[in-house]
Amino acid sequence: MTADTVVAGRPSPGVGTAKKKDKKESGLLRYLVVRFLLIIPTIFILVTMVFILMRTTGDPITAALGGRLSADQLAERVAAAGYDRPLFVQYLEYLGNIIRGDFGTTISDNRAVSQVLLTYGAATLELAFYALIVAFIVGIPLGMIAAYYRDKGQDASLRVMAILFYATPVFFAGLLMKLIFSVWLGWLPTNGRASTRSDLLLQALPDKVGIYVIDALRLGNPQVIGDVLVHAILPAITLGLLTAGIFLRLVRANVIGTLSLDYVESARSRGVSEFRLVRKHAYRPALIPIITVIGLQIALLLGGAVLTETTFEWKGLGFQLVQYLQARDFVAVQGIVILLAIIVAITNFVVDIIAALIDPRVRY
Amino acid sequence: MIDVIKPGDDDAVVRIKDLTVSFATDAGAVKAVDGVSLEVRRGEVLAIVGESGSGKTVTAKTILGLLPDTATAQGAIILTSKDRGSSTDVITLSKRQLRKVRGSDVAMVFQEPSSALNPVYTVGWQIIEGLNAHGHYSRREARAKAIDILGRVGIPDPEARIDYYPHQFSGGQKQRIIIAMALVLDPGLIVADEPTTALDVTVQAEILDLLRACRDEFGTAIVLITHNMGVVADLADRVAVMYQGKLIEQADAVTLFTHPTQDYTKRLLAAVPHVGQSALKTVDRAQNRPADWDDVAPLVVADELRIEYPGRLGRPGFVAVDGISFSIRPGEVLGLVGESGSGKTTTGRAIAGLTRVTGGSLNVLGMEMRGVRERQFKKIRSQIGFVFQDPGTSFNPLLTIAECVAEPLVVHGRAHDRSAARSRVDELLEAVQLPKAYGDRFPHELSGGQRQRASLARSLALDPKLLIADEPTSALDVSVQAKVLELFSELQAQFGFAALFISHDLAVVDILADKIAVLWKGKLVEEGTGAEVLGAPQHPYTQRLLASLPVPNPELQATRRAALHVLQAQDAALALDA
Amino acid sequence: MARTIGNRKLSLWDRLPLISHFRQSVGWQRGMLTGGLVITGIFLVTAALAPWLAPFGFAQLRDANGLFGSQVPPNSKHIWGTTVGGYDVFSRVIWGTQTAVSVIVVAVLLSIFAGVLLGLVSGYFGGWLDRIMVVVADAIYAFPSLLLAIVMSIVISGGQSSLWGGILAAAISITVVFIPQYFRVIRAETVRMKSEAFVESAKVIGASNARIMFRHVLRNSMRTLPLIFTLNASEAILTLAGLGFLGFGIEPTAAAEWGYDLNKALSDVTSGIWWTSLFPGAAIVFVVLGITLVGESLNELGDPRLRGRKSVEAASGAMTETSVIQTVTAPAHSGDPAIEIDGNQGWSDR
């Protein structure tokens, strides 16, 4: 290195003055606002769709109590609940109620739907959270390993494994694991979120959150904490592996895709190691589409949660949903389905924001 | 370590001996490089020229061991470090050894500066990563080195810019940063693969200056891969010509341009368009026009034409064309020249009804295009032909060439179906010098030049009054380009259509156009005959554009370069005054 | 080069999906594709030959020797045992293939037609209608598909039904879930295609919208369909099984359905009865695995970045000819990958 002056050409015209930066930051803000506003039509469409679908079969009271009451009694109850009014009026009223957080009252057990949602929502949230942890721990590193060894034996076996995870219905995976670990080996409990004793202790806790592990920690009883965690192992792995299979496939395809890009070749030409190319150069840009797709997997995760909860009698929204479906209690079903839709819409929003924050092209 | 360095070869940075590279493809094994031997001396720029498929890029990538897994290389590439302390045969190196050589002994500069930088890391991070791959630096040391090198390649305010992300720089600046990444480890050799192809001609001149400085001030040897003979004349000390994987001629730059020995090299040089080569023809054409030609109503009249693309979500739109006026008379060829973003393609698309006119007036064959409806314009479409830039994508891949060429005939009811149109299709194929049998082939079975001929045939099928050609030759190799331009010129004389010929290359436009219009940032800065615009440009932008265009003659190019530097100094002085 | 103009027949054969893919595949990729094809083949053959393969009917509870009995462990007569309801497990697994195939065929056919048409029209014309359809499709797409299928099956059949009623209900429920997927894919392809030069050139020529859509856009956007088809077929089986497992599927007397059998096996597991759940569950895994392997391989092989290639012997292969100077007489070759070796955008980018 000899010369320490500017070696050539005129300096290029400047960019990135303070003013310009401000403008770009407001760009991010605008993106956030627009993306947030997009949630509203999504939820609106889903609420409308669910409402219309549920009502094409008739009013909820006839559906639930049809065979059990006489025609007169039925008509009386229908009129009392306002289900004899025009559908459109009922729809507007339902919309208004939802905005105020009132999802109606269940027909089969006469509880406020919003209360049902709060109680069982916590359980589903807990399960989904555990499952996501399993999915991240298993799916993402294995996906990167598969990409690193692409087309070799390791890659092929990891991919077949991922497809197996995906191809196994969660309830079958759950049944198998119950059979092996609970029935044959007797290591883990078969059903539920906690043993009866722990359950009683937790229920007695004042202002409980509903997320058992948090409640157990607050209770401070190590036995209860252990009991709660042990009960979560099988459901979390069952649901987590399904999602892990999808993550693995996603990470692998995206990392391989970015590995063939020019900037990876450019880094390679500077002597950067192959491992670092995967770990740094390919992974982070690949993360942006991965995160977006992960958002869409939340829907799958919740669908899987319904099946997992039924398999393990994990008393969450999914388990409850099936109970209400069998009782033909459509007020409750409608409430649960709409809540799940809102959760999915909001998660997708959060996921898009995270993706935007990772990508400097959006950030600046 | 290899101890084959003979005395007298001491000066070689890299010696390639009998290199052969094969690839596995879906169609079987294919040889890309066939027995090439080359050497590059210290502080020397060796240009490897050739057309697509000549194996020049593969040769260059082999020097860094950057071939994909599907490739197999044979022969020897002996690379010597800058301090002459070590030399190695790249082909025999293990992955780990290769990594040590890459970056420190040989670095690479890529064609597309925008895709060669990782978008999610700052440029400083990427420069420092290269440093850390080859040595141990403290954070502060590494950062200081990175700032230093950014400043030296001409990035202003490097202390702040080091923390910028790639998308915050312009294309030319990105290429400077990539060169900085190559220089920071002080390699003895830089392989530059088409380093200016993706850049506008004015930016190209700056990057060529920077590469020259790499050689002169850092003592770095450069292997320059390019298809552009003007770039070769500007920068290269020695030139190697490749054809079909073989090295066919090697000489110092002046000798090669003045006394080429091989037929291929001669034809290649002859095919390069240069400014002023068709001045006589234009005068001839002008003289042969009928006396009342000036009074004939123009086919296209643009008056303060303005085209704005709507912005998304309430953001202001982008003005692509900003109040330009021009006209095209029957049988006249207007050449529209400009760099990327000048609005030249948008103008062409507006005439063809592909882009909405948002302001001013544009009259095409008697139809006002502002607020025109597709239904009204459809009748006029039969009188307009359009040739697209990329012949590879402008044909439906599932239809044969004959079906594609017959399409306008069927659509406009001149033929009931394809078979009825076949005789006309054969005529058209003949007119563009394609064998009739090619009509039964699928587009992917034709070469780029052949496809562009077929594209011309399709655009002429309805005997249009007006032809719009949007960069019809920029995706083609130079010798193919020469043939297509010649054909275009012949067809124009034969069919007498008026044409709007859009190109970024002044020399290409000069060959065909009666009049040349220069666009710059959506505005028309200069218009006139070729002699006027290219002979005595008035607008400073045209002057700079013309001066930046390298010519395929090393000695002439040296004087032109000096003139350009004078112009640039003037610009800089003006910028300071302002 | 191998692909010459003379053997057009071969090239048409080569262009067929699956066959062309198989020819391109190498190494592990070929292994996975072969495995998938074999499993899918077994599945289809079993469905076709179910009446001959199954020893008993799917709803058969007794034969000449009386009732089969409930939860009988595997033995020589009932090789996979009997269920809690007294059905023969092996027979029901075999008959289940027929149900699965029927649902796949109906569901995928319905959704392909609706989804492709909507996607094509929406993507081609754009505008407000397109935006609304995109928001609706995205909303449905983001919704847990199983829940949607449950709601649909209640709407269609009240939850329980006969053989064809049940198959149709399941298929339509799955269709509603899939339409947005086809819509998204075809729409994206159409939007991409719309800006391609060959569509613009058709527009410049003055071709009508219908002609451009069906002659130019549709045929070119169909190439992704085999991939979505396989992926959706496996998803259809999983959704059907999920519906059955939750009790919204097909009655056991109407048809054999694996998800229903697993539902009934749920309580067996706690008492250590494994045969009632293992076999129908394994059948689902086996079939979904096979179809997904095919789909995954198609995906990999269709994407040049993901496709693997054999390495070659050193210095082998013919030299490619370049189209320099003698343009007209040069052999046709531009579609060959070798030409793009020199291009910097990646030689495998066909």
C147 touches chain A (CB under 8 A): yes
Q: What is the pLDDT of residue B27?
A: 64
Chain C partners (3+ C-beta pairs within 8 A): A, B
* Contacts with B224 (C-beta within 8 Å, 6 or more apart), sequence order: B45, B46, B47, B48, B192, B195, B211, B231, B232, B235, B236
Least confident of A17-31, A62-76, B372-386, C160-174: A17-31
DSSP assignment letter at C332: P
pLDDT band at C107 (very low <50, low <70, confident <90, very high): confident
- CA C180 to centroid of chain Cα atoms: 15
Give the mean pLDDT of B378-394.
83
Q: What is the pLDDT of residue C333?
A: 31
Cβ–Cβ gap A10/B100 under 8 Å: no
Q: What is the pLDDT of residue C340?
A: 26
Is pLDDT above 70 for A15?
A: no
**Residue predicted with more confidence, A177 or C343:** A177
Q: How far apart are the C-alpha atoms of A262 and B140, rounded to whole Å?
A: 29
Query: Under a CB-based contact definition with an 8 Å cutoff, are residues B134 and B103 in contact?
Result: yes
Give the mean pLDDT of C82-111.
80
- Do residue B322 and residue B297 come from a single domain? yes
Cβ–Cβ gap C32/A46 under 8 Å: no
Give ipTM to 2 decimals.
Answer: 0.76
Position B297 in a domain:
yes
Residue A290's domain comprises 121-363
Cβ–Cβ gap B411/C318 under 8 Å: no
Q: What is the pLDDT of residue B46?
A: 92
B125 touches chain A (CB under 8 A): no
pLDDT band at C17 (very low <50, low <70, confident <90, very high): low
- Do residue B429 and residue B529 come from a single domain? no
Q: What is the pLDDT of residue B7?
A: 40
Q: Using DSSP bridges, classify how beta strands C62-63 and C66-67 pair: parallel, antiparallel or unpaired.
A: antiparallel
Q: Of B415, B435, B461, at which residue does a domain stop?
A: B461
A34 touches chain B (CB under 8 A): yes
Pinpoint the alpha helices (H) of B243-366: 253-258, 263-271, 279-287, 344-351
Query: Under a CB-based contact definition with an 8 Å cutoff, are residues A42 and A345 in contact?
Result: yes
Position A134 in a domain:
yes
Instruction: Name the A residues in 279-308 with CB < 8 Å from any C CB.
Output: 296, 299-300, 302-304, 306-307
* Contacts with B73 (C-beta within 8 Å, 6 or more apart), sequence order: B19, B20, B21, B62, B67, B91, C314
Is pLDDT above 50 for B86?
A: yes
Q: What is the pLDDT of residue B147?
A: 92
Q: What is the pLDDT of residue C314?
A: 46
- Do residue B523 and residue B413 come from a single domain? no
Closest chain C C-alpha to B399 CA, distance in angstroms? 9
DSSP assignment of A263-312 equals HHHHHHHTT--HHHIIIIIIHHHHHHHHHHHHHHHHHHHHHHHHHHHHHH
* Contacts with A305 (C-beta within 8 Å, 6 or more apart), sequence order: A124, A127, A128, A131, A239, A316, A317, A318
Position A88 in a domain:
no
Position B84 in a domain:
no
Domain count of the fold of chain A: 1
Chain B partners (3+ C-beta pairs within 8 A): A, C
Mean of all residue pLDDT scores within chain B:
84
C134: closest chain A residue by CA: A42
A77, A115, A205, A234 from A200: Cα distances, Å:
37, 20, 9, 22
Residue pLDDT, tens place only, B245-254: 888 899 888 8
B384, B524, B528 from B514: Cα distances, Å:
19, 17, 9
Is pLDDT above 60 for C309?
A: no
Residue for token pair 């996906």: A143
Residue pLDDT, tens place only, C42-66: 888 887 887 887 777 777 777 777 7
Residue pLDDT, tens place only, A244-254: 888 888 888 88
Least confident of A81-90, B326-335, C280-289, C323-332: C323-332
- The percent of residues above 90 in pLDDT, for chain A, comes to 0
Residue C172 tokens, joined: 């339509």
- Do residue B489 and residue B519 come from a single domain? yes
Cβ–Cβ gap B121/A359 under 8 Å: no
Q: How many CB pairs under 8 A join A and B?
A: 142
A327, B112, B241, B320 from B308: Cα distances, Å:
60, 28, 45, 6
Least confident of A321-325, A360-364, B362-366, C64-68: A360-364
- Closest-CA residue to B207 (of B154, B254, B157, B164): B154
pLDDT band at B490 (very low <50, low <70, confident <90, very high): confident
Cβ–Cβ gap A175/C293 under 8 Å: no
**Residue predicted with more confidence, C305 or B356:** B356
Give the mean pLDDT of B63-78.
84
Position A183 in a domain:
yes
Cβ–Cβ gap B116/A9 under 8 Å: no
Least confident of B308-312, C17-21, C114-118, C276-280: C17-21
Residue B144's domain comprises 118-185
Q: What is the pLDDT of residue A16?
A: 35
**Residue predicted with more confidence, A70 or B488:** B488
Closest chain C C-alpha to B435 CA, distance in angstroms? 8
Give the mean pLDDT of B93-115.
86
Query: Under a CB-based contact definition with an 8 Å cutoff, are residues B367 and B452 in contact?
Result: no
Position A181 in a domain:
yes
Q: What is the pLDDT of residue C341?
A: 27
Cβ–Cβ gap A344/C144 under 8 Å: yes
Is pLDDT above 70 for C158?
A: no
Is pLDDT above 80 for B9?
A: no
- The edge-to-edge listing of strands for the beta sheet with B384-387 is B384-387, B466-470, B498-503, B333-337, B515-520, B523-529
**Residue predicted with more confidence, B283 or B498:** B498
Residue B406 tokens, joined: 């017959």
Among left, alpha and beta (phi > 0; psi -120 to 50; other), residue A220 is left
B73 touches chain C (CB under 8 A): yes
Q: Which residues of A touch C270 (CB under 8 A)?
A: 178, 182-183, 190-191
- Do residue B372 and residue B470 come from a single domain? yes
Q: Find the helix or strand (DSSP H, E) in which B47 lies.
A: strand B45-49
Query: Under a CB-based contact definition with an 8 Å cutoff, are residues C30 and C308 in contact?
Result: no
Position A193 in a domain:
yes
Give the mean pLDDT of A336-351.
81
- Do residue B433 and residue B340 come from a single domain? no
Query: Under a CB-based contact definition with an 8 Å cutoff, are residues B513 and B530 in contact?
Result: yes
Position A31 in a domain:
no
Cβ–Cβ gap A360/B120 under 8 Å: yes
Amino acid identity for residue B493 in this structure:
A
Residue for token pair 């209690």: A329
Q: How far apart are the C-alpha atoms of B564 and A206, rounded to whole Å?
A: 83
Q: What is the pLDDT of residue C338?
A: 27
Q: How many CB atoms neighbour CB B308 within 10 A?
A: 18
Cβ–Cβ gap A159/C270 under 8 Å: no
- Do residue B421 and residue B497 come from a single domain? no
DSSP assignment of C24-64 equals H--HHHHHHHHHHHHHHHHHHHHHHHHHHH-SS-TT--EET
Backbone angles phi, psi at B542, to 5 degrees: -60, -40
- Closest-CA residue to A166 (of A255, A252, A249): A249
Q: Which among C2, C206, C328 has the least Cβ separation from residue B27?
A: C2
Residue for token pair 């001959």: C52
Chain A partners (3+ C-beta pairs within 8 A): B, C
Q: Of B163, B185, B207, at which residue does a domain stop?
A: B185
Give the mean pLDDT of B523-536.
85
- Closest-CA residue to B483 (of B432, B446, B533, B444): B432
Q: What is the pLDDT of residue B239?
A: 92
Query: Under a CB-based contact definition with an 8 Å cutoff, are residues B115 and A282 in contact?
Result: no
Is pLDDT above 60 for C161?
A: no
Cβ–Cβ gap B70/C311 under 8 Å: yes
- The percent of residues above 70 in pLDDT, for chain B, comes to 93
Query: Under a CB-based contact definition with an 8 Å cutoff, are residues B487 and B520 in contact?
Result: no
Q: What is the CATH number of the domain that holds B358?
A: 3.40.50.300
Closest chain B C-alpha to C184 CA, distance in angstroms? 21
Cβ–Cβ gap C322/B483 under 8 Å: no
Q: What is the pLDDT of residue C304?
A: 57
Q: What is the CATH number of the domain that holds A306?
A: 1.10.3720.10
Is pLDDT above 50 for C37?
A: yes
Q: Which residues of A touch B217 (CB under 8 A)?
A: 2-3, 7
- Do residue B454 and residue B478 come from a single domain? no
Which of A63-77, A78-92, B130-144, C263-277: highest mean pLDDT?
A: B130-144
Q: How many CB atoms neighbour CB C31 within 10 A?
A: 15
DSSP assignment of B507-566 equals HHHHHH-SEEEEEETTEEEEEEEHIIIIIS--SHHHHHHHHHS--S-HHHHHHHHHHHHH
A7: closest chain B residue by CA: B152
Is pLDDT above 80 for A190?
A: no
DSSP assignment letter at A183: I
Position A57 in a domain:
no
pLDDT band at B223 (very low <50, low <70, confident <90, very high): very high
Position B478 in a domain:
yes
Closest chain A C-alpha to B242 CA, distance in angstroms? 24
Q: How far apart are the C-alpha atoms of A334 and A337, rounded to whole Å?
A: 5
pLDDT band at B577 (very low <50, low <70, confident <90, very high): low
- Do residue B378 and residue B405 come from a single domain? no
A16: closest chain B residue by CA: B168
Percent of chain A that is helix, strand, coil (3-state, to 5): 75, 0, 25
Q: What is the pLDDT of residue B76?
A: 86
Position B43 in a domain:
no
Closest chain A C-alpha to B106 CA, distance in angstroms? 8
Beta-bridge partner residues of B79: B14, B88
Q: What is the CA radius of gyration of chain B?
A: 26
pLDDT band at C198 (very low <50, low <70, confident <90, very high): confident
C35: closest chain A residue by CA: A160
B572 touches chain A (CB under 8 A): yes
**Residue predicted with more confidence, C316 or B51:** B51
- Do residue B452 and residue B479 come from a single domain? no
Residue pLDDT, tens place only, C242-301: 888 887 777 777 777 787 887 877 777 777 777 777 888 888 888 888 888 888 787 777
DSSP-derived 3-state class of residue B88: strand
Helix (H), strand (E) counts: chain C: 13, 3
Q: What is the pLDDT of residue B143?
A: 92
Domain count of the fold of chain B: 3
Q: Of B135, B151, B185, at which residue does a domain stop?
A: B185
Amino acid identity for residue A147 in this structure:
A
- The percent of residues above 90 in pLDDT, for chain B, comes to 4
Query: Under a CB-based contact definition with an 8 Å cutoff, are residues A234 and A178 in contact?
Result: yes
Q: How far apart are the C-alpha atoms of C176 and C161, rounded to whole Å?
A: 19
Residue for token pair 């030759």: B473
- Do residue B475 and residue B451 come from a single domain? no
Q: How far apart are the C-alpha atoms of C159 and A64, rounded to whole Å?
A: 13
Q: What is the pLDDT of residue C180?
A: 83
Residue pLDDT, tens place only, B503-525: 988 888 888 888 889 998 888 88
Residue pLDDT, tens place only, B135-167: 888 889 899 989 999 988 888 888 888 988 888
- Do residue B366 and residue B497 come from a single domain? yes
